[in-house]
């Protein structure tokens, strides 16, 4: 349960996040939580509800709770809004309530124009240092605060496989490479297992639990075999994830703007989406995004950020109604 | 067969043809990617511990286990000793992997032991149990901050954070999974 002290601290984190982006000229956009169409993402189950029109009570129209404000924010970027951020609730269905997760959580998402994932690393580091400056005081768990403000350790995902899973000379894109790595680590490999599954299992079993917890860690250059809207550079893509206290906190892309690639992603994920419990129409208008300036977006889980700052191990300790 | 998403702590699985006890289980949902369970598996025969990550949709085979009720006698550094409630046979259960049970068991009480063939592999304690507070500092007077806590020690040696009004000799309900205080028990 959330104590009053933690509730106050949480509110200060929200203020500090807003202040950071306001001071840098980012526009806060409070985008809708209900959407008629979403970016199809094969692994995300959504919440569906129905819009009731009193004039046409029979013609119920499906609406979905957004799993991220991305679908709205990308349209605003295409309209020329420039740098924007959104701080609000997002919803992911069919994900277990666990120590680190709730189906509803608070997300900060920001986009910087004329930027790529690499330049956003610096901004993320600045944000963490700034939070540490503003929030570190005589609060319980101050060592968490210091760890958040420590210099960021940056390595590529391939380097993390070598350092933490001890797979020397690992490179993405080599045929059979992940299968060999999994075998070397003694993982049970099923015949139907895809490279994407193997990649996630190695990362989740042998890398993530061993990441340093006394400083922020950025894992960069994710393999492009995990389909995303990040710009692809051969076997890897311009994507990073930020870890605090061993928890996945934020995800960043250089946003893909090539219309052919966007179409390919929509088609591929829509097909995989057929197995979803709740299918939903893809955001066709995402293709408008090809008209946006070069930009990069970061999505950051705020509840986990508060956990890291306070060195708390359970998300129930940082939300008002766990 | 069960779905990996249904695995929980204390389950017994066959994995690579060996029997394993699930010592720990955590759900992980990578921001981009399928949902997984990360498990710590303890080999029932060898005691070797293994980390694995399995897609929640994948199927896993359960090991053929059974339960027996037994009275808890005492513990030494390496084992817990029990007596079977029906046959009065005494047997030992290795503490390894079950280290926290020492805080939730009381000598003379009966617990359920999970067995695989002739190997005891788990001791089931109730989700919540009543423990007596044996060491507690007096609360500082005037400290009325809502939600303030202090550490106390129970009869089993467990350290728990409790509200300031808890005194030595009080009986408190404790969650045996999280080790956290639930409420004071009034009798």
Indicate if A69 and A184 belong to the same structural domain. no
Q: Which CATH number fits the domain that encloses residue A17?
A: 3.30.930.10
Specify the pairing of strand A295-301 against strand B36-43: unpaired
Q: For B71, phi and psi rounded to 5 degrees?
A: -90, 130
CA-based nearest residue in chain B for residue A190: B58
Neighbours of B20 (CB within 10 A): 26
**Set of chain A residues whose Cβ sits within 8 Å of the Cβ of B35:** 43, 94-96
Q: Count other Cβ atoms within 10 Å, centred on residue B168.
A: 13
Q: With beta carbons under 8 A apart, name residues in chain A contacting B3.
A: none
- Report the pLDDT averaged over residues A77-85: 96
The answer to ipTM > 0.90 is no
> Do residue A298 and residue A203 come from a single domain?
no
Comparing A196 with B144, which gets the higher pLDDT?
A196
Q: Are residues A92 and A49 in the same domain?
A: yes
Are A226 and A290 within one domain? yes
The number of folded domains in chain A is: 2
pTM of the model: 0.82
Per CB-CB distance under 8 Å, the chain B contacts of A300 are none
Q: Looking at the structure, do residues A230 and A270 belong to the same domain, yes or no?
A: yes
3-state helix, strand, coil in chain A (%, to 5): 40, 25, 40
Note whether A37 and A139 are same-domain residues: yes
- The three-state secondary structure class of B4 is helix
Q: Give the pLDDT score at A137.
A: 66
* Residue A73 shares a structural domain with residue A119: yes
B169-183, pLDDT tens digit by residue?
A: 999 999 998 888 999
Domain end among A172, A194, A214: A214
Residue A151's pLDDT band (boundaries 50, 70, 90)?
A: very high
Residues of A at the B interface (Cβ-Cβ below 8 Å)?
Answer: 1, 3-5, 41, 43, 92, 94-96, 98-101, 186-188, 190, 196-197, 200-201, 203-206, 208-209, 226, 228, 241, 248, 251, 299, 314
Last residue of a domain, one of A196, A214, A232: A214
**Band of pLDDT at residue A288, cut at 50, 70 and 90:** confident
Q: B31, B34, B146: best mutation site toward chain A, by most A Cβ within 10 Å?
A: B31
pLDDT single digits (tens) A92-135:
998 778 889 999 999 999 999 999 999 999 999 999 999 998 98
Boundary (domain end) residue, out of A172, A197, A214: A214
In this prediction, what percent of chain A has a pLDDT beyond 90? 75
Measured CA to CA, the distance from residue B4 to residue B56 in angstroms comes to 5
A178 with A66, same domain: the answer is no
Query: Rounded to whole angstroms, how far apart are CA atoms A113 and A81?
Result: 9
Both A258 and A225 in a single domain? yes
What pLDDT is stored for residue B141 in this prediction?
A: 56
Q: A286 and A221 share a domain?
A: yes
Domain containing A161 equals 154-214
Quick one: A210 and A235 in the same domain? no
């Amino acid at each position: 349960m959330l104590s009053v002290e933690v509730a106050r601290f949480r509110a200060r984190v929200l203020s500090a996040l807003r202040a950071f982006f306001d001071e840098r000229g980012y526009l806060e956009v409070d985008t809708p939580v209900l959407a008629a169409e979403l970016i199809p993402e094969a692994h995300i189950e959504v919440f569906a509800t129905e819009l009731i029109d009193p004039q046409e009570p029979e013609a119920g129209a499906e609406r979905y709770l957004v799993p991220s404000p991305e679908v709205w924010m990308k349209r605003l970027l295409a309209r020329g809004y420039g740098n924007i951020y959104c701080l609000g609730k997002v919803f992911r269905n069919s994900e277990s309530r666990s120590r680190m997760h709730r189906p509803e959580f608070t997300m900060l998402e920001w986009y910087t124009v004329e930027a790529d994932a690499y330049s956003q690393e610096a901004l993320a580091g600045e944000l963490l240092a700034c939070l540490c400056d503003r929030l570190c005081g005589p609060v319980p768990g101050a060592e968490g605060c210091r760890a958040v403000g420590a210099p960021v350790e940056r390595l590529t995902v391939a380097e993390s496989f070598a350092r933490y899973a001890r797979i020397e000379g690992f490179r993405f894109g080599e045929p059979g490479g992940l299968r060999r790595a999994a075998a070397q680590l003694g993982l049970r490999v099923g015949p139907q297992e895809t490279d994407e599954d193997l990649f996630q299992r190695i990362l989740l079993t042998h890398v993530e639990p061993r990441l340093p917890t006394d400083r922020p860690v950025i894992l960069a250059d994710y393999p492009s075999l995990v389909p995303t809207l990040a710009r692809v550079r051969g076997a890897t893509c311009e994507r990073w994830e930020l870890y605090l206290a061993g928890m996945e906190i934020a995800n960043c892309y250089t946003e893909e703007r090539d219309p052919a690639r966007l179409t390919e992603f929509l088609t591929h994920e829509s097909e995989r989406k057929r197995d979803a419990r709740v299918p939903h129409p893809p955001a066709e208008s995402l293709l408008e995004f090809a008209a946006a300036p070069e930009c990069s977006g970061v999505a950051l889980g705020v509840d986990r950020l508060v956990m890291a700052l306070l060195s708390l191990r359970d998300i129930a300790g940082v939300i008002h109604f766990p | 067969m069960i779905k990996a998403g249904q695995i929980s702590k204390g389950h017994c699985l066959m994995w690579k043809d060996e029997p394993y006890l699930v010592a720990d289980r955590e759900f992980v949902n990578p921001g981009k990617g399928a949902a997984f369970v990360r498990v710590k598996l303890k080999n029932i025969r060898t005691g070797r511990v293994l980390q694995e990550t399995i897609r929640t949709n994948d199927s896993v085979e359960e090991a053929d286990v059974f339960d027996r009720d037994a009275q808890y006698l005492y513990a030494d550094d390496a084992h817990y000793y029990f007596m079977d409630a029906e046959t009065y046979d005494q047997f030992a259960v290795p503490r390894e992997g079950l280290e926290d049970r020492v805080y939730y068991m009381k000598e003379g009480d009966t617990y359920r032991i999970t067995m695989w063939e002739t190997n005891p592999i788990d001791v089931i304690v109730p989700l919540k149990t009543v423990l007596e507070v044996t060491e507690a500092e007096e609360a500082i007077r005037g400290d009325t901050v809502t939600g303030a806590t202090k550490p106390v020690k129970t009869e089993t040696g467990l350290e728990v954070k409790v509200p300031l009004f808890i005194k030595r000799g009080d009986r408190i309900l404790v969650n045996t999974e999280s080790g956290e205080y639930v409420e004071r028990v009034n009798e």
